[in-house]
Chains A and B, each alone.
Chain A
Amino acid sequence: AQKITQTQPGMFVQEKEAVTLDCTYDTSDPSYGLFWYKQPSSGEMIFLIYQGSYDQQNATEGRYSLNFQKARKSANLVISASQLGDSAMYFCAMRDQTGANNLFFGTGTRLTVIP
């Protein structure tokens, strides 16, 4: 069975500092993808970044990057130069490769950026 684990319910970071949000996963499928979403207090789900299991390099999108360690089954999100607007819930997700093929989500990490 596939599984996504986010062990940090809450994190704090000083403005302008970098922060790493942890995500570990478990799957038996050799081809898979990891997604990160941001949910600000307004409630919408915003797609941030994607990492494919066969991608040779770690994904980057602006200030977001993925520290993808396939052997350790981890896909941690790194946010550089944190801004106050980064305060939000962050969800790691993976495609369910049985049945619905939906994205199934971890329980999330609440990030608070301190001025």
Chain B
Amino acid sequence: NAGVTQTPKFQVLKTGQSMTLQCAQDMNHNSMYWYRQDPGMGLRLIYYSASEGTTDKGEVPNGYNVSRLNKREFSLRLESAAPSQTSVYFCASRKNRDRNTEAFFGQGTRLTVV
């Protein structure tokens, strides 16, 4: 019963380096999301994918790109990491974005950019 699986759990990057955060869900959910969590600010939406083949910007998309590789997988890429991107990143999925269904979250990735 894996649910939403994120990798890696921890990462340290130097400014300017790139990396991809991986996310996969096995619940056959249509919608997938990437959030970042910063102290005192709750979770903020970076990008989302309403269904396979579509992606859209959320509240804080600058500095990030995403790929919805298939229905299961939704990756987040930092092309040139900056210290302001130090945060905890969560991937989430929901069965149907148009209904009041709960989101299931991955374990989170703690990213530090030095």
Residues of A within 8 A of B (CB): 9, 31-33, 35, 43-45, 47, 50, 52, 91, 95, 99-108
CB distance from A10 to the nearest CB of B (A): 12
B residues 75-102 with Cβ under 8 Å of A?
A: 88, 90, 92, 94, 97-98, 100, 102
Chain B residues within CB distance 8 Å of chain A: 31, 33, 40-43, 45, 48, 50, 56, 58, 88, 90, 92, 94, 97-98, 100, 102-105, 107-108, 110
- Quick one: which of B50, B90, B94 contacts A45, CB cutoff 8 A? B90
If A44-B108, A52-B100 touch, whether A102 touches B33 (CB-CB below 8 Å) is: yes
Q: Which residue of A lies closest to B56 (CB)?
A: A100
- On whether the beta carbons of A107 and B41 are closer than 8 Å, the reply is yes
- In Å, the complex CA distance between A105 and B94 comes to 15
Question: Besides the contacts A47-B104, A91-B43, what 5 more A-B pairs have beta carbons closer than 8 Å?
Answer: A100-B33, A100-B56, A100-B97, A101-B50, A101-B98
Residues on A with C-beta less than 8 A from B40 are: 9, 107
Contacts of B104 in A (CB 8 A): 47
A contact residues around B108 at 8 Å (CB): 43-45
Neighbouring B residues of A31 by C-beta, 8 Å: 100
